């Protein structure tokens, strides 16, 4: 592990944003108007090891840090690590502990598939694809101010809200684009960046 990646061990509770060159990541980014397609959390386990807390369709689980390193070095991932403006190790540990105890092991909530917003989201994904591939004009307001339910960012935001009691995202069901906006506002700051 490089010295750069070793720095992540000093940042429990840090927010990890990820982009991969997969078609799904590209569609998510186009749909959200974002640069990153996934949010996760640096989690310190009860055994003292550092993992990445991921909520994916396969479930909310701990991912080895080495998986992220391989993704960057071998698969073209872009990853950045953010901390809140008021970050302390104690607050980060509180967020990390909350995620470990309350999010880890839970299934990804697929009930969103039956909600009205999901149907609109799928329309937006299709519309974004058509716009990009065939240059068909699609109104830009489709990509703005859209509330999502149960996205990867939700577990990260809940960890900060319920762990140290800090509401960074100030939005129900935030997305990776919301995380980017909080970075632009100065509520989060980038401390590490890998790839791309």
Which tens digits make up the pLDDT trace of 29-79?
A: 988 889 999 999 999 998 999 999 999 888 889 999 999 999 999 999 999
Candidates 180, 194, 149; CA nearest to 37 is: 180
* Portion of the chain with pLDDT greater than 70, in percent: 78
Please tell me which residue, 135 or 155, carries the higher pLDDT value. Answer: 155
Instruction: Indicate if the alpha-carbon torsion angle 174, 88, 191, 79 is positive or negative.
Output: negative
The H-or-E segment that residue 177 falls in is: helix 176-184
Residue 113 lies in a domain: no
Residue 143 lies in a domain: no
Give me the pLDDT at residue 27, please.
Answer: 86
- Total residue length of the chain: 196
Residue 124 lies in a domain: no
Structural domain total, the chain: 1
3-state secondary structure of 176: helix
Q: In what order do the strands lie in the sheet with 188-194?
A: 59-64, 50-56, 38-44, 15-19, 78-84, 188-194
pLDDT band at 144 (very low <50, low <70, confident <90, very high): very low
Residue 183 lies in a domain: yes
Residue 43, domain extent: 3-108+152-194
Cβ atoms of 83 and 42 within 8 Å: the answer is no
Instruction: Indicate if the alpha-carbon torsion angle 54, 178, 170, 109 is positive or negative.
Output: negative
pTM of this prediction exceeds 0.85: no
Q: Which residues contact 174 (CB under 8 A, 6 or more apart)?
A: 148, 151, 153, 154, 157
Give me the pLDDT at residue 7, please.
Answer: 85
Please tell me which residue, 130 or 183, carries the higher pLDDT value. Answer: 183
Cβ atoms of 150 and 173 within 8 Å: the answer is yes
Phi, psi of 195 (to 5 degrees): 80, 165
pLDDT band at 149 (very low <50, low <70, confident <90, very high): very low
Query: How far apart are alpha carbons 152 and 19 in whole angstroms?
Result: 13
Residue 172 lies in a domain: yes
Phi, psi of 84 (to 5 degrees): -65, 155
What value does the mean pLDDT of the chain take?
A: 84
Give me the pLDDT at residue 31, please.
Answer: 82
What is the domain-level CATH number for residue 57?
3.90.1720.10
Give me the pLDDT at residue 179, please.
Answer: 97
């Amino acid at each position: 592990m490089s010295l750069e990646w070793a720095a992540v061990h000093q940042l429990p509770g840090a927010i990890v944003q990820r982009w991969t060159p997969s078609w799904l990541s590209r569609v998510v980014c186009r749909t959200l108007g974002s640069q990153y397609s996934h949010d996760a959390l640096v989690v310190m386990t009860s055994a003292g090891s550092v993992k990445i807390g991921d909520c994916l369709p396969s479930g909310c689980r701990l991912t080895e840090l080495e998986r992220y390193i391989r993704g960057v070095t071998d698969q073209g991932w872009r990853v950045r690590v953010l901390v809140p403006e008021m970050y302390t190790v104690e607050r980060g540990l509180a967020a990390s502990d909350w995620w470990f105890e309350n999010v880890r092991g839970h299934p990804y909530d697929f009930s969103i598939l039956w909600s009205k917003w999901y149907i609109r989201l799928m329309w937006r994904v299709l519309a974004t694809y058509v716009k990009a591939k065939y240059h068909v004009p699609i109104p830009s307001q489709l990509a703005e101010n859209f509330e999502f339910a149960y996205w990867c960012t939700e577990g990260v935001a809940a960890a900060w809200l319920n762990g140290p009691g800090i509401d960074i995202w100030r939005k129900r069901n935030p997305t990776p684009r919301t995380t980017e906006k909080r970075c632009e506002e100065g509520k989060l700051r980038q401390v590490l960046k890998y790839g791309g």
